[in-house]
């Protein structure tokens, strides 16, 4: 057996075993959501159920107006991405193609933001939002993320891979910089742009701490806040099947999104390491 075959076998075995670290919790949550409460109270773990039921999902849907919370989350996630697209695309083009004093220094300062944890910026962000009078609004959830250092870095790397000859040809045809970005650059880096879009959606869909601080009105809650509220509403102890069903209601769209677009997620992390 050749060395390359052994290496592929070892790597494949490691990936298979590592995948179970993610699959086992998902399988257990799904199984718990589909089993009756009496089976979930067994002290011996059971990896299968003798009786599956949808009643836990029926009770979970009755806990909260999930349609409203889905709509709120979609508005916040979609609005945040639109703001990010408006800011990071021209910024990435400027850092990739334009020559101006201090360009590299500004770019390195921008990258410093990648080293800062999100929690470290909560206090200044909240102070700004309160000064603007935007507390308890969906706009307050979007504004701190209107610019993305990671998105700017990612698109900048992708823009630098576009041949200069295409840009020169567009200039000869009288194409301005907006036309150039829209008709030349974005079509060529569409996979990278889509990968960033998916990353942005996943991050803001799962965000909990910032909405918890900013949002007070029940009608403006996102799914993560609604999930915690639904759990707190349980006064009869831990109903694990009900909690698992509620959790799946929140995360199921992301699971479907990941399965459908998984190759774009992979490309996101590959492209983020492109040198330029």
Taking Cα atoms as reference points, which of 228, 252, 244 lies closest to residue 64? 228
pLDDT band at residue 25 under the 50/70/90 scheme = confident
* Furthest C-alpha separation in the chain: 74
Report the pLDDT value the prediction gives residue 134, as an integer from 0 to 100.
93
Res. 276 pLDDT band, cuts 50 70 90: very low
Mean pLDDT, residues 170-198: 85
Q: Across residues 237-250, what is the average pLDDT?
A: 83
pLDDT tier at 113, thresholds 50, 70, 90: confident
Residue 235 pLDDT: 55
pLDDT confidence tier of residue 274, bands split at 50, 70 and 90? very low
**Mean pLDDT along residues 105-112:** 89
Q: What is the pLDDT of residue 211?
A: 93
pLDDT one-digit tens code per residue, 198-240: 889 989 999 999 999 999 998 999 999 988 877 776 554 578 8
241 has a pLDDT exceeding 80: yes
Give yes or no for a contact between 225 and 72, defined as CB atoms under 8 angstroms apart.
no
Residue 43, pLDDT above cutoff 90: no
Band (pLDDT 50/70/90 cuts) for residue 41 is low
- 64-271: which CATH number, 1.10.3720.10, 2.40.30.10, 2.40.110.10, 3.40.1160.10? 1.10.3720.10
Percent with pLDDT over 70 in the chain: 88
Angle separating helix axes 149-159 and 103-112, nearest 10 degrees: 140
pLDDT single digits (tens) 168-181:
888 888 888 888 88
Scored b (16 or more CB within 10 A) or e, 215-242 reads beeeebbbbbbbbeebeeeeeeeebbbb
CA–CA distance, 200 with 254 (Å, rounded to integer): 12
């Amino acid at each position: 057996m050749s060395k390359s075959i052994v290496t592929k076998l070892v790597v494949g075995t490691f990936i298979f075993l590592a995948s179970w670290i993610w699959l086992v919790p998902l399988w257990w949550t799904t199984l718990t959501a589909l089993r009756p409460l009496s089976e979930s109270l067994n002290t011996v773990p059971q990896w299968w159920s003798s009786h599956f039921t949808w009643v836990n999902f029926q009770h979970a849907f009755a806990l909260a107006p999930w349609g409203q919370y889905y709509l709120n989350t979609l508005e916040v996630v979609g609005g945040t991405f639109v703001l990010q697209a408006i800011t990071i695309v021209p910024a990435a083009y400027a850092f990739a193609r334009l020559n101006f004093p201090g360009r590299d220094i500004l770019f390195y300062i921008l990258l410093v933001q990648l080293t800062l944890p999100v929690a470290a910026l909560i206090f200044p962000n909240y102070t700004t939002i309160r000064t603007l009078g935007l507390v308890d609004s969906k706009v307050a959830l979007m504004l701190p993320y209107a610019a993305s250092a990671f998105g700017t870095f990612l698109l900048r790397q992708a823009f630098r891979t576009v041949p200069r000859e295409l840009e020169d040809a567009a200039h000869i045809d009288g194409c301005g910089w907006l036309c150039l970005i829209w008709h030349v650059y974005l079509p060529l880096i569409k996979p990278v742009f889509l990968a960033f879009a998916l990353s942005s959606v996943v991050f803001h869909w799962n965000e909990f701490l910032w909405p918890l601080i900013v949002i007070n009105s029940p009608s403006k809650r996102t799914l993560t806040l609604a999930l915690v509220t639904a759990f707190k509403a349980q006064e009869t102890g831990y109903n694990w099947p009900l909690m698992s069903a509620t959790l799946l209601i929140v995360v199921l769209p992301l699971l479907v999104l990941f399965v459908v677009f998984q190759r774009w997620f992979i490309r996101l992390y590959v492209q983020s390491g492109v040198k330029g």
